[in-house]
Structure 1
Amino acid sequence: MAQRPFDFVIVGGGTAGCVLANRLTADPRIRVLVLEAGRPDYWWDLPIQLPIAMGMPVGNEHHDWLYESEPEPGLQSRRLHHPRGKGIGGSSSINGMIYQRGHRADFDRWAAECGTPEWDYAHCLPYFRRLENCLDERDDAYRGHGGPHTLSRGPADGPIFAAFLAAAEQAGHTVLPDLNGAEQEGFAPLDQGVRGGRRESAARAYLHPARRRRNLEVRSRVMVTRIHVDGGRAVGVRYRQGNDSESVVTAREIILCAGAIGTPQLLQVSGVGDADQLARLGVPVVDDLPGVGESLQDHLAVHLQHVCREPVSMAHVRRKVNWPGIVAEALLLGTGPGSRNPMQAGGFVRSTPDQSHPDLMFLLAPLAMHSSERSIPIGEHGYQMHVGVMRSSARGSVRITSPDPSQHPAIRLNFLTGAEDRQRWVDAIRIGRELLAQPAMERLNGGESLPGPEVRSDDEVVDWVARTARVGLHLACSARMGIDEGAVVDPTTLRVRGLDGLRIVDAAIIPSLTNANTYAPVLMLAEKAADMILGNTPLPPEDPATAPTSIAVGGPGTAGEPAEAEPATA
């Protein structure tokens, strides 16, 4: 007997695609197909499974799309590598596993940009809580327990972390119980997506538990080449598997979850985008949407490094002779340095008192990892602080250069071209240096190796940033939702403007970048999107700061899953 048609085709098995695959197929009447261009996230593939190996997939053609930017004018015309996950789990299989929601003001700004309160903090908080399974004691008014995605707070133990948090207080900052709780401004141990010594990717949290459902089909190594539109409605997609000729699969709805680069690229090669740009490339115009591929944003980051006077860092993890033992402890016991990202403490501060909310992020690792220019040699003790400027007026773009979907698009971020970027970076390096120079760090401080004592003046700091800064791996906003002429997606339905049967659910639709990592917001966005797509009653808004309430969190029942369906947790 032939199977009935698919209700939904999800293009992309990354973070949002995994969430939707789970939540949509919780109803056994709904048939879903997930198409992923990369390979499966094999359990034995340690570079994507072992937290300490997080740097290994980056730059590896099996795990990373290997995108490269056009020359960036604000960064001395350097071409930057933009790592994007290639495989089941998407970038959640290669990211740093640090879970940060962002400041409440970011989501209130989303609501203003979208013209609806449905995206403000009070409406997003219940979905953050629903997805979370916090293993540590948290404030239940703000955090979730029993959700699909496990979160564990980094222990941040040892002399370096103790000194760092003490230094934060000495510098006048607050040490908080939870950066994802009532307040974000301050320092604390960090939440990480790890479970039992392994990475908790979106695939592990959401997709794997749903794979046994008969109404879900997942195909990997499948390159979607076009969205098939008929009479103003998306009715299917064309795809290619290996060297096979193109095939077509149809569905009631198409949901793009290919990310901030892949989604606008697929729209453009399908004729959805700026009509003039598409016409110049010979692409027939299906829907003239000038905002497709525009407003691209990411964070920029540098590393401050110090030599450590005492042998108390994690320098031993960089010696290959120690790797077998580190791997074994993480896999067999779920403990040890291999079981976590070394950056286990950090915080958010304002570059100047007149900022409305924090615009700088600092993360500390008790070892000096490979960075730019002269890093501390392998085997020598040191510590490293990640410094990120989290707000900029600079905007970039993703634009195809060929109708061929296998050709990478032109990517520009225009880093360091925002009106306040220069001063924010001067302030960021100053504040970071002041933090690491506090009396609490004096016993450990063997001197700054990066950027080094020769980088002092404002001009020297900005030149160093332009010469060495890297991307934050938080690409977003390239097919943003909103109500202005540049918006691509309707914020009330997540449908692409001007087309029926086509929605986008991934980082591309974020209206503007949050002041933190984007993994948590994309998980939340996809959870909220699932209710919108299914027509479920949305979770009621709540703001514990003004009117504490209690909601059911975590379990699949909150997403309208029938009692007989498989649970959403592993």
Structure 2
Amino acid sequence: MELKVCYSAFILNIVLGSISFVNGDLFSKATRTKADEKNLQNSVFDFIIVGGGTAGCVLANRLSAVHEWKVLVLEAGEEENIDYDIPGVPTKEFRPILWNFRTERNGFSCLSRPGGSCEVKTGKVLGGSSVTNDMKYTRGSKKDYDSWYDSDAIKSLDWKFENLIEHFKASEDNGDYDVLMNSFYHSRGGEMHVQRFKYIDRYMELFLGAFAELGFRSIDINTNVPEAAVNNQFVIFNNTRLSTNSAFLKPVRHRKNLTVKTGATVTKLIVDEQEKTIDGVIYEIEKGKEQAAYAKRETILTTGAINNVRLLHLSGIGPQDELLKHNITVKINLPVGADYQDQVSTGGLAFSLHEVTPFSESQIIEDFKTWFQNRGGPLASRGINQVSAFIQLFENKNGPDIELALEGNYIRSDKFMLTNVTVHTAEETSLPLPYYNLVIVNPVLLKPKSRGKVTLNKKNPKYGRPVIQANLLKEPEDLEAIIDSVDIALQLLNNKEFKRADIKLAPLDIFPCDRLQNRDQWNCIARHYTKAMGNPIGTCRMGANKTTSVVNYDLKVHDVERLRIVDASVMPTHVRGGIFAPTVMIAEKATKLIMKDWKENKSNYFNRR
């Protein structure tokens, strides 16, 4: 079916007909007023972007650059706060800007976490997880993207790495000249400034030196190398966090064709069942008070791998058996919610630093003043969190399997002398990141094999927290990889400089694993103190086969028109890095696809199935 652009008068008539479906006879000819028609015209847009997160902000910038297109962004969270801009502040602990999802209990992971489940923290704020993540700029390896190729789909060739590098570079503004020298991988001039922090403390240098002694080179991890120990690059500008809201959305909020609504939760898509098209969305600013918005061209979902599932299922788009459990009419039968994947790590591995002098409250206050005055001082960094080692465990993989991500925390040193500290206490952030006497080593499995699924909340499908059966560490290979990397991390303790600095394994309370030894003990620790990294993907994966995928390689949802999904949920498998940079890349590529459909092809939209 070919759909041409509907001009104002024509779309108004269609929308008026649709409104009666949503709100009864509210806008019938007998009762319609000029005010009603004005409100209605204000609810019609060319594009509706559901979610003002990492990808949504990029899309809003690019699409609103076409001045004749009206763009609406609906974000459930609120505006960013300046406190979130401070690099040393751990924003992932700020509950008001997080969705705070939890996985379901199972018998193989998160066993000693509260409730026997793991937290999955994703951003609920304008800018999404780019406000709450670790700010690292890691793209993954060439092989990751090349594996998305499907021999049955020519369009999948567009997702091979050599065809994606231009979309990575489109928004990049790299500020480290030694990195920028490799012009194939990096560029200048984009909205997203990428750079290392200049602040390096003694322990950062010590850990980098210890990794070098183990044979890890210091090299740009984004140049398709299998291993490296790095002082990471971060998405920052002038020692300030640069979310996609700050980089892409704030600079264009003045555009008259761009409308951004915060605190707006989209609860349903308006589906024309006869034509198999999406006409718009139903959203709520206040709970229970529904409003409608209509899209003449496309509705684009960018709410992530968990919230996309909730919205699609509530709209009747999802697996038939699952929807019928909730008495939802099945409009499109697709595997929405299947193939959930999240990167995973374990707690319990930490090194204590005994030479650190206590940090005073007055010193920290002065450091905050310094940052606000000139963006300098320790808070213009992330301390030991800047250091990572990327490890290739298996030969001929051409990419790392594990990231040993370091994380600093401050624990009163006398606690170590009086009693053991629990894993949970060791992970509770008590001071900003640059102040630490404990280095937590997170062995992050970058490309897990375990798969799960997301479904609607059984008691409250509309407002309740979605059910996440993550199945973390279900596959034995995932557990084996993490334990292998723990063995490598423990080798750091043999470093001469470590011994001279009296760096030791922290005596954490690891009950019920304390009576086990060696590898058996770490197997137990990983199962009990599992960490979900909050990088979920896969629930709306792209592909050519409708029985195993939700969107095609143009990111259009199968079997329905004028609906596209543009975020990490479309990724078939994880890349060997974080999901921030790949999500921005996906948004840049989606922009080109949308422009091709609506500009180059003279405003035609055709979902090739």
Superposed pair shares fold, TM > 0.5: yes
1:414–1:286 CA distance, 2 compared to 1 (3 A): same
For 1:208, the equivalent position in structure 2 comes to 250
RMSD: 2.6
With normalisation by structure 2, the TM-score equals: 0.81
1:423 CA drift (Å): 1.5
Contact 1:59–1:83 (Cα < 8 Å) also in 2 = no
Deviation string 1:375-433 (CA, Å, 9 cap, x unpaired) is 39988733332221222221011100347421111002101111412321220110111
Deviation string 1:277-306 (CA, Å, 9 cap, x unpaired) is 1111111111011x2001111111235321
- How many positions carry a matched residue from both structures? 527
Alignment of 1:308-327 (within 5 A): 308-311=353-356, 316=359, 320-327=361-368
Q: 1:123 aligns with which of 155, 160, 163?
A: 163
Distance 1:366 1:114 in 2: 47
| 1:511 partner letter | P
Distance 1:127 1:506 in 2: 14
For 1:41, the equivalent position in structure 2 comes to 80
Alignment of 1:14-413 (within 5 A): 14-43=53-82, 46=83, 48-55=84-91, 57-58=92-93, 60=95, 62-75=96-109, 77=111, 78-112=116-150, 115=153, 116-137=156-177, 138=179, 139-155=182-198, 157-176=200-219, 178-230=220-272, 231=274, 232-243=276-287, 245-251=289-295, 252-289=297-334, 291-303=335-347, 304-311=349-356, 316=359, 320-342=361-383, 343-353=385-395, 355-365=397-407, 368=410, 372-373=423-424, 375=426, 381-402=437-458, 404-413=461-470
Of stretches 262-271 and 354-363 in structure 1, the one that deviates more from structure 2 is: 354-363
| 1:161 partner letter | M
1:3 CA drift (Å): 5.4
Q: 3-state SS of the aligned residue for 2:506?
A: strand
For 2:45, the equivalent position in structure 1 comes to 6
Of stretches 237-246 and 465-474 in structure 1, the one that deviates more from structure 2 is: 237-246
Structure (1 or 2) with the larger CA radius of gyration: 2
Deviation string 1:308-332 (CA, Å, 9 cap, x unpaired) is 24338xx63xx54433222222222
1:59 CA drift (Å): 5.4
Q: 3-state SS of the aligned residue for 2:535?
A: coil
Distance 1:102 1:198 in 2: 24
Contact 2:199–2:380 (Cα < 8 Å) also in 1 = no
Q: 3-state SS of the aligned residue for 1:34?
A: strand
Deviation string 1:39-95 (CA, Å, 9 cap, x unpaired) is 11134xx1x22222224x5351x2111211111321154211111111211111111
1:350 CA drift (Å): 1.4
1:131 CA drift (Å): 1.4
Structure 2 gap ranges (5+): 1-37, 412-420, 600-609
Of stretches 299-308 and 474-483 in structure 1, the one that deviates more from structure 2 is: 299-308
Contact 2:217–2:229 (Cα < 8 Å) also in 1 = yes
1:446 counterpart = 2:487? no
% same residue: 27
| 2:393 partner letter | S
1:366 CA drift (Å): 5.5
Contact 2:197–2:380 (Cα < 8 Å) also in 1 = no
1:536–1:165 CA distance, 2 compared to 1 (3 A): farther
Distance 1:153 1:371 in 2: 33
| 1:283 partner letter | I
For 1:469, the equivalent position in structure 2 comes to 530
Of stretches 86-95 and 324-333 in structure 1, the one that deviates more from structure 2 is: 324-333
1:435 CA drift (Å): 3.2
| 2:290 partner letter | E
Q: 1:502 aligns with which of 556, 563, 575?
A: 563
Q: 3-state SS of the aligned residue for 2:555?
A: coil
| 1:499 partner letter | V
Distance 1:71 1:389 in 2: 20
Q: 3-state SS of the aligned residue for 1:228?
A: strand
1:92–1:371 CA distance, 2 compared to 1 (3 A): farther
Alignment of 1:401-550 (within 5 A): 401-402=457-458, 404-449=461-506, 456-535=517-596
1:491 CA drift (Å): 3.6
| 2:581 partner letter | A
Contact 1:197–1:339 (Cα < 8 Å) also in 2 = yes
Q: 3-state SS of the aligned residue for 1:516?
A: coil
1:125–1:298 CA distance, 2 compared to 1 (3 A): same
Of stretches 374-383 and 459-468 in structure 1, the one that deviates more from structure 2 is: 374-383
Contact 2:269–2:278 (Cα < 8 Å) also in 1 = yes
